Chain A
Amino acid sequence: MSELEGMTAKQKLAYYQEKMYQDALDGKAKGELVCWSSSIAPCEFCEVMGIHMIYPENHAAAVGAKHGALAMIELAERRGYSLDICSYARINLAYMDLLVEEAKTGVTPKELEECPGPRIPLPDVIITCNNICNTLLKWYENLAVELNIPYIIIDVPYVHHWPIPEYTKEYIADQFEYAIKQLEDLCGKPFDRQKFIEVQEQCQRSVNAWDRAMGMACTVPSPLNGFDMFNFMALIVCARAKYAAEDTFNTLADELEAKAARGEDAFKGGEKFRIAWEGIACWPYLSHTYKSLKSLGCNMVGSTYPGAWSIHYTVGNMKEMGAGYCKMYSNTCLDHKVDVISDVLTSTSSTGITYHLNRSCKLMSFLNVETAEIVKERTGVPYVSFDGDQTDPRNFSPAQFDTRVQALAEIMEQNKK
């Protein structure tokens, strides 16, 4: 633990991320099991079983942020994957192919050698929850079939009406029990129910620390810059079941509270406008989008994205845990999405919002055209949409983005008057 003493939140983020990837690689070498999981699937079961977790979406985002996406995407397309498929999927499927090739031949393919993202081990089991989208189902099935390994699916019904009905919760809870059974068979050992309680408790503490840190964006001016929100998200995705997440987010929240108490904001006094960002970041252009907004004095303080991992439930209650994973924002009806975005705008005092029309993510993008108009009607907050992609760098035009956000800033300025 001493190693961590005195570390900043940013240092802890880097430290824990690297450690998790390394532990998974070392574990795999020792014959321990590795699971590839979709980003908002329950992590609790594998954690209890001592299985190392790797999150392909997260990994693909890291590859994208480090400008390694195009090489993987081109490889996937050469192998026949359509460019209409989510770019996370294309990156990950290409990456899996390269790992398989390496395992078979003992030679590391050039593309893998040169890939700037972290190295990950091949999985022994796959877990998916379709609370995010249904692309995941086929993408992960593809992994499981190609690698000939078990595929655990948690199917959560789409939420059309509130509150979430009992039968939905029961349906999900039953699947949780079945997932446990599948893991017991795979690991050849019983599921430790006492440890399960401890893991759930840890998840809840991590989520509370996450909420605490992200909540600082509501302070005016905000000590948190939203692009850091995107960066720190890596740990709420990958380490919810570990102390690492709780520790890092509490350190972050402490730092932000101290900053706010000193009256400092993320832009050293330059926060002119507060805006929200709907959708995934453009990872290959993270720095461009950040700088472009910053040059206009726009701090991105609102995003629905962090809230997606704010998964609260009563520890020990399987049905409540099921509901927690079910009410993830992209698994809910348009009305609820509008509520969520409107709340983000109000709670963060945002006076503008940008919608990322993400070519990869049909689920979010197609709805956002409609969502944007309803939110505008309800809140009066002006918006802009821009074309992009979370990791395919070919689908984003920096100059078009700049023009749109500058016009948004001009509208916000004029609305101040």
Chain B
Amino acid sequence: MYTMGIDIGSASSKVVILKDGNDIVAGEVIQFGTGSSGPQRALEAAFEKSGLSFADMTKVVATGYGRFSVEQADKQISEISCHAKGIHFMVPTARTIIDIGGQDAKAIKLDKRGTVSQFFMNDKCAAGTGRFLEVMSRVLEVPLDQMAEYDSRATEVVSVSSTCTVFAESEVISHLSNEIPKENIIAGVHASVASKACGLAYRTGLEEDIVMSGGVAQNAGVVRAISRELQKNVIVAPNPQIIGALGAALFAYDEAMKAQ
């Protein structure tokens, strides 16, 4: 039996196809989110990879900001529950999740069954999110996937203190014009994202294991900064960006079993 999870976020679209609630036969990411061609392209990629089609899917669950735009979905479930479900599947010992996506950062507290007991999300503000990193990557002229590498060479963490993304951008520009090495500025940018995420994470009580999901978890610089700030070990979920879609596919499997 095949089930599908679709996570249409603000920054990217993710599709996971699951066989018998256990094997990931496709886990595709397109870096365009809700309102773009991303969802369609992610679906096409998943179908191509698996050789399957919608007709093969017993159930489909959609999540993310664009969850109500998926016609084929049998059910919509919030990203909070989906990330919890996906993480519990990948890392059963997880008790705290930090998910940083394009526009949302969340900290989720799990109980032993892997269900959500409380969650905290960022304010209506782009500070501490993936978009913030995207803006910084542009002014620094360092691609997102190289930010971690720069960070690892930093000799000092330069302060980037403005909460406002626009002001932080001009802070970074002035650091650049003062000829501060990009490595050190990037470490500062990561520390700034980390401090926002940790503000949410602290409120969960920080029970271990602490696991990260979402696109930003692919940035080892942010992960290091979070770990440093919390003074705790932080595990990055395997393939962190598809965790929400994986959770959705697992819920779809539960739905299919219920229907039987």
A310 to B99, CA, bound (A): 43
Q: How many residues of A are in contact with the other chain, CB < 8 A?
A: 20
Contact A407-B118, Cβ < 8 Å, known A387-B123, A395-B124: no
Find B116's partner among A373, A376, A410 (CB 8 Å cutoff).
A410
A393 is an interface residue with CB less than 8 A from chain B: no
Q: Which residues 326-382 of A sit at the B interface, judged by CB distance below 8 A?
A: 357, 373, 376, 382
Kindly report which residue of chain B lies nearest to residue A380, judged by CB atoms: B117
A411 to B81, CA, bound (A): 8
Query: Distance (Å) between the CB of A156 and the closest chain B CB?
Result: 32
A414 touching B116, Cβ below 8 Å = yes
* Residues in A whose Cβ lies below 8 Å from that of B47: none
Task: Fill in one digit per residue for A374-417: 1 if any B CB lies within 8 Å of its CB, else 0.
Answer: 00100000111101000000011101100110110011001000
A384 to B81, CA, bound (A): 14
A382 to B109, CA, bound (A): 12
Contact A410-B65, Cβ < 8 Å, known A373-B203, A382-B118: no
* Residues in A whose Cβ lies below 8 Å from that of B116: 407, 410-411, 414
Contact A406-B78, Cβ < 8 Å, known A387-B123, A395-B124, A400-B124: yes
A382 to B78, CA, bound (A): 16
B79 is an interface residue with CB less than 8 A from chain A: yes
A403 touching B118, Cβ below 8 Å = no
B78 touching A410, Cβ below 8 Å = yes
B81 touching A407, Cβ below 8 Å = yes
* Residues in B whose Cβ lies below 8 Å from that of A383: 118
How many pairs, one residue from A and one from B, have CB atoms within 8 Å of each other in the complex? 45
B124 touching A387, Cβ below 8 Å = yes
Task: Fill in one digit per residue for B110-135: 1 if any A CB lies within 8 Å of its CB, else 0.
Answer: 00000111111101100000000000
Contact A407-B78, Cβ < 8 Å, known A399-B65, A414-B115: yes
Task: Fill in one digit per residue for B82-111: 1 if any A CB lies within 8 Å of its CB, else 0.
Answer: 000000000000000000000010000000
A382 to B204, CA, bound (A): 13
User: Which interface class (under 10, 10 to 19, 20 to 34, 35 or more) fits B?
Assistant: 10 to 19
A364 to B124, CA, bound (A): 18
* Residues in B whose Cβ lies below 8 Å from that of A385: 120-121
* Residues in A whose Cβ lies below 8 Å from that of B115: 411, 414
Kindly report which residue of chain A lies nearest to residue B68, judged by CB atoms: A402
A213 to B120, CA, bound (A): 35
* Residues in B whose Cβ lies below 8 Å from that of A384: 119
Find A403's partner among B80, B120, B123, B203 (CB 8 Å cutoff).
B80
Contact A403-B124, Cβ < 8 Å, known A376-B118, A411-B116, A414-B116: no
B45 is an interface residue with CB less than 8 A from chain A: no
A414 to B111, CA, bound (A): 12
* Residues in B whose Cβ lies below 8 Å from that of A400: 104, 121, 124
Query: Distance (Å) between the CB of A7 and the closest chain B CB?
Result: 39
B124 touching A397, Cβ below 8 Å = yes
Residue of A383, A385, A400 ringed by the most chain B CB atoms within 10 A: A400
Query: Distance (Å) between the CB of A92 and the closest chain B CB?
Result: 24
A407 touching B124, Cβ below 8 Å = no
B77 is an interface residue with CB less than 8 A from chain A: yes
A6 to B251, CA, bound (A): 51
Query: Distance (Å) between the CB of B37 and the closest chain A CB?
Result: 20
* Residues in B whose Cβ lies below 8 Å from that of A410: 77-78, 80-81, 116
Query: Distance (Å) between the CB of B29 and the closest chain A CB?
Result: 20
A243 to B78, CA, bound (A): 47
A403 touching B79, Cβ below 8 Å = yes
B65 touching A403, Cβ below 8 Å = yes
* Residues in B whose Cβ lies below 8 Å from that of A357: 123
* Residues in B whose Cβ lies below 8 Å from that of A406: 76-78
A339 to B104, CA, bound (A): 32
Query: Distance (Å) between the CB of B219 and the closest chain A CB?
Result: 23
* Residues in B whose Cβ lies below 8 Å from that of A376: 118
Task: Fill in one digit per residue for B61-78: 1 if any A CB lies within 8 Å of its CB, else 0.
Answer: 000010000000000111
Contact A403-B117, Cβ < 8 Å, known A373-B203, A387-B124: no
Kindly report which residue of chain A lies nearest to residue B103, judged by CB atoms: A400
Contact A382-B117, Cβ < 8 Å, known A373-B203, A387-B123, A397-B124: yes
A43 to B23, CA, bound (A): 68
A411 touching B117, Cβ below 8 Å = yes
* Residues in A whose Cβ lies below 8 Å from that of B76: 406
Kindly report which residue of chain B lies nearest to residue A387, judged by CB atoms: B124
* Residues in A whose Cβ lies below 8 Å from that of B203: 373
* Residues in B whose Cβ lies below 8 Å from that of A404: 121
Residue of A373, A376, A399 ringed by the most chain B CB atoms within 10 A: A399
Query: Distance (Å) between the CB of A66 and the closest chain B CB?
Result: 23
Query: Distance (Å) between the CB of A28 and the closest chain B CB?
Result: 41
A317 to B123, CA, bound (A): 47
- Give 29 CB contacts A-B under 8 Å: A357-B123, A376-B118, A385-B120, A387-B123, A387-B124, A395-B124, A396-B124, A400-B104, A400-B121, A400-B124, A403-B78, A403-B79, A403-B80, A403-B104, A403-B121, A404-B121, A406-B76, A406-B78, A407-B78, A407-B80, A407-B81, A407-B116, A407-B119, A410-B78, A410-B80, A411-B117, A411-B118, A414-B115, A414-B116
Instruction: Known pairs A387-B124, A403-B80; list 15 more (Cβ under 8 Å).
Output: A376-B118, A385-B121, A396-B124, A400-B104, A403-B65, A403-B104, A403-B121, A404-B121, A406-B77, A406-B78, A407-B80, A407-B81, A410-B81, A411-B115, A414-B115
The 5 closest A-B pairs by CB, nearest first: A407-B80, A387-B124, A407-B78, A406-B78, A410-B81
